[in-house]
Structure formats: structure tokens, C-alpha cells
Amino acid sequence: MVHGRFGMYKNKRHVFITYIPGNSTVSKHKQKRYSLNTKKGKEYSLQVKKYILVKTEYDKLLTSWRNAYSCEPPEVRFPIIQTYDPHSMNNIFFNNSVSNSNNIISEHNVYSGDIIVRSKNEQFGKDILDRLDIPYKYEPGIIDNNPRGIVPDYLLSFYEIDRCSYLEICGMSDDYEYSSRTAKKINFYSANKYRPGREVIYVFMYDKYNFDEDYFASQIMGAFETLIPDSALNWDK
């Protein structure tokens, strides 16, 4: 990710670049400077705005950690090596997956932005994934032994740690047919070595009148943290 800041130079707004991945000629001491009115300035300003958002979030998390613990947070060693990865669900897996693989026609389609989903729960889930800035693919296909044509709701990309996971949003517990299909899906995942909270994330939304956004987000982020093995954490800084 490009690092930088905004500032003034000769009474004009500029973007100052302090780091470009793979470019050793740019640093805090050798900054690149572009006017916001130039093509380069506009391109870099978008990247720097994203960097500032990430850095602001990081600084808040670091402050919260230091207020709660007496030690510094661990560093994460990259690349992260998974001790067990039966399906090689990494960034390449995500990029090669194909969206909209479910050919069954639904009578309850819901329009959500640029895609059509099959339920309100899936729409609410999509909205939260967008807010969390988690890349996803809707209804990707599964290549494994899959005679029933099981199609997950979403495939989520945790690109920072080179991992991805299927997401199943489970609701309508009062509907026998729906519950039966959910049970078949879970049995399929289990039989094919998709572990809960790792290769597949289940979020059970029992209350059809109230989609608990905080609960949904906590299940997703909890799975993300679980996918970082202890061997990747360096506490001795």
C-alpha cells in the first residue's frame, strides 16, 4: 500500500508520497510530490486517502490495546503458513472462483446494489461485508465431490493473510424445508473437510424480524482472527 500525506507547497495542495511498494527511491526522506490537479496527483491522492483511513483505524486499535494490556501487540510474520489447509483456500483460490454459480431460480430475489441475492438476510450480510471492506463473491461454485450441487452464499477474501472462507447465512429455522437444506449443506461441508470458522463460516440468524449486525460482524472478524496461527505471531519484539 502506498504511504503518504497531504500538504501545501507554494500555496497549492499537494500529495506527498513517502512509500511505494517495490520502489526504494521513495522514502520519508526522499518524498515524491504531486499537485492534486495533475493526473498523477489525482491517482496518488486516492491511494493516500485509503492509507490514511487504514492508519487511523490501526492507531485507534493500538491505543485500545495499550489501554487494555501492559505489553505491546505481537507482530505478524508474513507470509503466513497454515499448518493445515485441505483445500488451498488462498488468494489464488479466491481469484479463480466464479460468482453466480447457482442456476436454480428463486422466487424471493432481492436487488442489492450491483447483484441480485436470494433473501433479505443475504442482502443485510452483503451490506455489512461492504462496510467492513471485505471482498467477496456471491454464490461461488464448489469443485469438490458435490453431487447435490451445494452452492455457498458467499466466498470471503481475507487477502491480508492469503486466506478465504465460505460464508453461510443460516435463517428461517421455523421452515422445515429450509432447515433440511441447511443441514444437508453442513453435512456436506463436514464430510469434505470444511471446518467451521475456518474454511466455512456459519452465521445463524434465528430471529427473522431482527438482523443483528454486531453479531454478524463479530462472527466474521472472529473467524479472521482464528485463521492467523500462533506460529505467525511474534511477541518478542
Q: What is the DSSP string of 189-229?
A: HHHTT--BTTTEEEEE---TT---HHHHHHHHHHHHHHTS-
What are the domain boundaries of the chain? 3-68, 91-226
pLDDT, one tens digit for every residue, the chain (237 residues):
899 999 999 999 999 999 999 899 999 999 999 999 999 999 999 999 999 999 999 999 999 999 999 999 998 888 888 888 899 999 999 999 998 887 776 666 776 677 778 788 888 999 999 999 999 999 998 766 666 678 899 999 999 899 999 999 988 677 788 788 889 889 999 999 999 999 999 999 877 678 899 999 999 999 999 999 888 999 886
- Cα 233 to its chain centre, rounded Å, is 20
Q: Which one-letter DSSP state was computed for residue 86?
A: T
Q: pTM (2 decimals)?
A: 0.76
Model pLDDT, residue 220 = 96
**Which residue carries 495499550 as its cell?**
66
Q: Quick: pLDDT tens for 151-181.
A: 899 999 999 899 999 999 988 677 788 788 8
Cα 80 to Cα 228: distance, rounded to the nearest angstrom: 7
CA distances from 234 to 30, 54, 75, 229 (A): 30, 22, 5, 11
Angle of helix 120-132 versus helix 213-226 axis, rounded to 10: 60
